[in-house]
Amino acid sequence: MSASTDTARPAAAARGVDLTPGGPTGPLPTPPPRAARPAGGGRRWGPGRVVVVMALVALTGVFVYPFVWLVSASLKPQGEVFDNRIIPLTPTLENYVNVWAEAPMLLWLGNTVLVTVLAAVTVTVSSAMVAWGFAYFRFPGRGPLFGLVLATMMLPGAVTMIPTFLIWNSLGQVNTLTPLWAGNLFGSAFYIFLLRQFFLGLPRELFEAAKLDGAGNWAIFRRIAMPLTKPALVVTLLFEFQAAWTDLMRPLIYLRDSDKFTIPRGLKSLLDQFGFGGNWHWEIIVTASVITTVPMIILFFLGQRHFVEGIATTGSKG
């Protein structure tokens, strides 16, 4: 573990420190500069490189085609959903009208946005606080306690699932949206780990200087550490937003009435209703799938760089 601390010197330190709120934005620490690149392959466009790129283009088709299929199927009338054409024979938007009539899609979208925003914001703030507590302060028992944080990452969710349900049940929160996000108020081990790595890379002298100037512990965290950690905070926000948006298991456990559903839970209910049980309307399901997926695709293109760097960092810290 400690190895990564050294390799994870944030770029912020190297670039000179910017104390303005909203500070420097930049890539996450670990990915090295691309300069000294060519490992195995040459830089020039030889025939080998052409074959590689052609193979990659073909593979890209494999990865992207299911999206294309889904979107094009959602634009086909009922009878043609399965014809596997890329361009619909008789394109129509009526599925999008129908799905709105069959299901409270707007309500589901609203529920989902509420849950995901609350989940992402709370987990980011609380995990940052905890990470700061473990990164900045030296206190007895710090090592073992942080070991405990890491250990909880390895605990299968199934073990705590039932008692956690009983807690929310006894608080009268089943069939509300609360259990889907409120646990995030206490931080999450993975993000605590990620953010702590980042905090450890910030130059300590900076905080000592602020302390000498009379800044309190909270001010140092809020005014200096947080702004410098913006790239890692963005990664946390994006990851949790995606996790909360795509979650199906918790909505399955906690939500009963369809007006409480999040959009993945709603999609599952549409599949049960129109896919199985003889009531065949796959065009409704396909269209609802597109509506469930598109916000995530938009999110990815907005935060693409952060996603990729966040994931690359995750692996190198294993």
Partner 1 sequence: MTALTGPLARVRAQVSTRSQRRDLRAALLFISPWAVGFLVFTAWPLLYSAYLSLTDYDVLNDPSFIGLENYRTLLEDDKIALSLRNTIFYTVIQVPAYVLVSLGLAMLLNQAGRAAGFFRTAFYLPNMTPPVAVGVLLLLIFNGQNGLINEVLGFFGIDGPSWTTDPNWVKPAIIVMSLWSVGGSVIILLAALRNVPTELYDAARVDGAGPWQRTWSVTLPMISPALFFVTVVNTIAAFQTFTETYTAFFGSGNSTYSNDAALFFSIYLFQQAFQFLNMGYASAMAWVLFVIIMVITVIQLRVSRRLVYLEGEQR
Q: CB 117 → partner 1: shortest distance, Å?
A: 17
Nearer to partner 1, 34 or 90 (CB): 34
Q: Which of residues 267-296 bind partner 1 (CB under 8 A)?
A: 267-268, 271-273, 275-277, 282, 285-286, 289, 292-293, 296
Query: Considering the rule CB under 8 A, would residue 249 count as an interface residue with partner 1?
Result: yes
Check: CB of residue 264 under 8 Å from CB of residue 248: yes
Q: In the 8-state DSSP scheme, what is residue 284?
A: H
Query: Considering the rule CB under 8 A, would residue 143 count as an interface residue with partner 1?
Result: no
Q: Which of residues 109-138 bind partner 1 (CB under 8 A)?
A: 126, 129-130, 132-134, 136-138
Compute the CA torsion angle 57, 61, 62, 68 (nearest 10 deg). 160
From 10-18, 30-38, 88-96, 201-209, give the range in contact with partner 1 by CB under 8 A. Answer: 30-38
Among 89, 93, 97, 148, binds partner 1 (CB under 8 A): 148
109 membership: H or E segment, kind and range: helix 105-136
Query: Considering the rule CB under 8 A, would residue 25 count as an interface residue with partner 1?
Result: no
Check: CB of residue 73 under 8 Å from CB of residue 283: yes
Among 89, 161, 171, 209, binds partner 1 (CB under 8 A): 161
292 membership: H or E segment, kind and range: helix 282-316
Rg of the chain, C-alpha, whole Å: 24
Q: CB 19 → partner 1: shortest distance, Å?
A: 21
Check: CB of residue 30 under 8 Å from CB of residue 7: yes
Query: Considering the rule CB under 8 A, would residue 144 count as an interface residue with partner 1?
Result: no
Nearer to partner 1, 64 or 89 (CB): 64
Query: Considering the rule CB under 8 A, would residue 98 count as an interface residue with partner 1?
Result: no
Tokens standing for residue 102:
């069959």
Query: Considering the rule CB under 8 A, would residue 92 count as an interface residue with partner 1?
Result: no
Euclidean distance between CA atoms 251 and 258, whole angstroms:
11
Euclidean distance between CA atoms 66 and 73, whole angstroms:
10
Q: CB 254 → partner 1: shortest distance, Å?
A: 10
Q: CB 15 → partner 1: shortest distance, Å?
A: 21
Among 152, 208, 259, 302, binds partner 1 (CB under 8 A): 152
- What character string, x for contact with partner 1 (CB under 8 A) and - otherwise, covers 49-68? x--xx-xx--xx--xxxxx-
Query: Which bin fits 156, alpha (ψ -120 to 50), beta or left (φ > 0)?
Result: beta
Compute the CA torsion angle 24, 27, 29, 31 (nearest 10 deg). -160
Nearer to partner 1, 20 or 102 (CB): 102
Measure CA of the first residue to CA of the last residue in the chain; give whole Å: 8
